[in-house]
């Protein structure tokens, strides 16, 4: 005896498109490129901080990609990986903070003119190529402060992205819930 599965409301496997369009990804890519340049030009080879900073910047970027891809069937995995991206970027933020502090360099204050200009640039430019060109002639102090500004902006973008995912989940439920509904409908 053959059982026919009735799927009046088939589960939705979301095809979300290109992660490169996400502002948080674009910002994270710029942060990675800035960090790579920074490490190559201002830290000594063999310094463990080099690998740590590169890995934290890479993790920030790559976990956005992985979380976005996982979202097709798992909101939980998407949120966890986005949170790993946030955490990695915070780790990188502390490395930049440490660099400035232990070398007696200035960390821009919220009220400073440099911070205001950097924030504006961060709002206007998400293209990594723009940032690579901008930093090519800047000091370590300036680059570290620019990276800090971009990390805060990326953090905010990732947070807002996660909030939208939670709102979508509250409205639609998740893939597992949809599968359970189908299974229960077919048992009736």
Whole-structure pTM value: 0.86
- The CA-CA-CA angle for residues 125, 129, 132, to 5°, reads 100
pLDDT value for 183: 67
Asked whether the predicted pLDDT for residue 95 surpasses 90, the reply is yes
Burial status of residue 7 (CB atoms within 10 A of its CB: 0-12, 13-18, 19 or more): exposed
Q: What is the mean pLDDT of the chain?
A: 89
Q: Can you give the length of the chain in residues?
A: 188
Question: Tokens standing for 14?
Answer: 């979301």
The answer to the question of residue 1 being in a domain is no
The answer to the question of residue 7 being in a domain is no
**For residues 30 and 132, what is the distance between their CA atoms, to the nearest angstrom?**
8
The answer to the question of residue 119 being in a domain is yes
Domain span holding position 37: 19-187
Is-contact 57 32, C-beta < 8 A? yes
Tally of structural domains, the chain? 1
Give 54 or 4, the one with higher predicted confidence: 54
Is-contact 25 61, C-beta < 8 A? yes
Is-contact 148 107, C-beta < 8 A? yes
List, for residues 110-167, the tens digit of each pLDDT value: 999 999 999 999 999 999 999 999 999 999 999 999 999 999 999 999 999 999 988 8
The answer to the question of residue 81 being in a domain is yes
The answer to the question of residue 65 being in a domain is yes
Question: Tokens standing for 25?
Answer: 């990804």
Asked whether the predicted pLDDT for residue 11 surpasses 60, the reply is no
pLDDT value for 54: 98
Is-contact 82 157, C-beta < 8 A? no
The answer to the question of residue 33 being in a domain is yes
**For residues 57 and 130, what is the distance between their CA atoms, to the nearest angstrom?**
18
pLDDT value for 2: 58
The answer to the question of residue 4 being in a domain is no
**For residues 37 and 39, what is the distance between their CA atoms, to the nearest angstrom?**
6
The answer to the question of residue 26 being in a domain is yes
């Amino acid at each position: 005896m053959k059982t026919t599965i009735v799927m009046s409301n088939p589960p939705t496997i979301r095809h979300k498109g290109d992660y490169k369009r996400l502002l948080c990804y674009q910002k994270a890519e710029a942060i990675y490129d800035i960090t790579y340049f920074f490490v190559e030009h201002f830290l000594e080879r063999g310094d463990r901080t080099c690998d740590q900073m590169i890995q934290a910047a890479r993790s920030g970027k790559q976990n956005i990609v992985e979380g976005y891809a996982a979202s097709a069937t798992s909101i939980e995995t998407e949120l966890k990986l986005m949170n790993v991206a946030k955490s990695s970027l915070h780790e990188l933020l502390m490395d930049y903070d440490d660099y400035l502090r232990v070398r007696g360099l200035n960390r821009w204050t919220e009220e400073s003119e440099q911070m205001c200009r950097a924030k504006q640039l961060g709002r206007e430019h998400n293209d990594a190529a723009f940032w690579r060109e901008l930093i090519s002639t800047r000091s370590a102090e300036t680059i570290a402060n620019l990276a800090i500004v971009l990390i805060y902006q990326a953090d905010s973008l990732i947070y807002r992205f996660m909030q939208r995912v939670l709102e979508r989940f509250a409205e639609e439920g998740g893939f597992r819930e949809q599968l359970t509904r189908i299974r229960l409908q077919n048992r009736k």
